[in-house]
Amino acid sequence: MITENNNSIFPKGEPLSKDWFTGDAFLFPLIAKDKNNEFSAGSVTFEPNARTNWHTHPKGQVLIVTEGNGFYQEKGKPIQVITKGNVVTIPENVTHWHGASATTKLVHIAITNYKEEVQVTWLQPVSDEEYNIANHQ
């Protein structure tokens, strides 16, 4: 199922797994790893309340926010508000999450490097308690 996203740059794409995401998040793939590109890239759409689980990337990731706004947080650090036009460079092996706010959608391009064949290690969900802090700060 490809869902059209009126006025957005890309379609929403396919739903992302509830194993790794809370709420309704979607991926539209843009770039596959190949002999030149040592990364993949895709457009990720988070509906309000949707967010990743806590996770790490072995060789980092870059987020380019193309629409809406939401949050980015590294474990033990303050929550950052991210909005259209922001770029987030995520270091390797840092536990973090990102997602929409409770009332707004977030769309970002994610460019994810590979370390050998691994891009991501998924951890526990962001609890409602953790998520509510972001929305009430």
Render 66-97 in DSSP notation, one character per residue.
EEEEEEEEETTS--EEEETT-EEEEPTT--EE
Please give the sequence-ordered ranges of beta strands (E in DSSP) within 4-135, or none if there are none.
Answer: 14-15, 21-22, 25-31, 39-46, 51-52, 55-56, 61-74, 80-83, 87-90, 96-100, 106-113, 121-122
**Using the rule CB under 8 A, is 37 a contact of a copy of itself?**
yes
CA distance 122 to 1: 25
Report the Cα 136 to chain-centroid distance in Å. 20
Minimum Å distance from CB 38 to a copy of itself? 6
Q: Which is nearer to a copy of itself, 49 or 61 (CB)?
A: 61
Q: Does 66 bind a copy of itself (CB under 8 A)?
A: yes
- Using the minimum distance from each CB to a copy of itself, give the nearer residue, 10 or 72: 10
- Per-residue contact string for residues 89-118; x = within reach of a copy of itself by CB under 8 A: x-xx----------------x-x-x-----
Nearer to a copy of itself, 15 or 59 (CB): 59
Q: Which is nearer to a copy of itself, 1 or 136 (CB)?
A: 1
DSSP code for 118: B
Binding site for a copy of itself (CB under 8 A): 9-10, 30-31, 34, 36-39, 41, 59-60, 62, 64, 66, 84-85, 87, 89, 91-92, 109, 111, 113
